[in-house]
Chain A
């Protein structure tokens, strides 16, 4: 069975500061990993995904994430955040060959002016 742990439920950060949102996963097979973002009153939008290949994945809005198999982590980073990055961020995992995507509990990123 697959699971995702996002240890930080809320992360406040000042504008233009760097941020890292942590994600750890567990799965018994090869996985796909995702970060989704949910802006207020909107649905989930794919930020980036790791399917295979390079462990450093770049996504939209200047975000990137690094897949670390030995640490079973997929942390999300941005070197300089903007007010518009205020949203909830969900890490997710899916076993290859299966349709089900399992989400973490989410991390609320609050960017402080």
Chain B
């Protein structure tokens, strides 16, 4: 089965620094997502992206966050000035050409972000 790839698997950063988390979605997919999971808590929706723009975002996705699809293969999440509470596992997901985008999401294995 095709896979969503995320790099790096672990990222450690100092508070206030910018981080970019990278994802390579499945090649013919059209919808892209970022979710996060703070240790011991639920998986939370951050943002969805379609046709080169954000289609939905949660309250968590404030001005410190941005997403980009800089080329035909990568999908990135940038956090401009990290806070301690941004420490979490960040999951990228993509979904394909189904009539309804949310019928099946394919998830990457995640990037564990630790903010010190």
Q: Which A residues are closer than 8 A to B by beta carbons?
A: 32, 36, 41-46, 49, 51, 90, 92, 94, 96-106
Q: Which B residues between 1 and 59 are near A, CB-CB below 8 angstroms?
A: 4, 6, 31, 33, 35, 41-45, 48, 50, 55-56, 58
Secondary structure of the A contact surface, majority rule:
loop
- The contact of B102 among A45, A94, A103, by CB within 8 Å, is A94
**Distance, CA A97 to CA B50, complexed state (A):** 14
Secondary structure of the B contact surface, majority rule:
strand
Output the nearest chain B residue to A41 by Cβ-Cβ distance.
B109
B104 x A42 contact (CB < 8 A)? no
B33 x A46 contact (CB < 8 A)? no
Which residues of the other chain, A, contact B108 by a CB distance below 8 angstroms?
43
B56 x A98 contact (CB < 8 A)? yes
Beta-carbon contacts of B42-86 to A below 8 Å, as 1s and 0s? 111100101000011010000000000000000000000000000
Say yes or no for B96: interface residue by CB 8 A criterion: no
CB distance from A52 to the nearest CB of B (A): 11
Which residues of the other chain, B, contact A36 by a CB distance below 8 angstroms?
107
- The contact of B33 among A90, A96, A99, A102, by CB within 8 Å, is A99
**Distance, CA A90 to CA B107, complexed state (A):** 13
Which residues of the other chain, B, contact A104 by a CB distance below 8 angstroms?
42
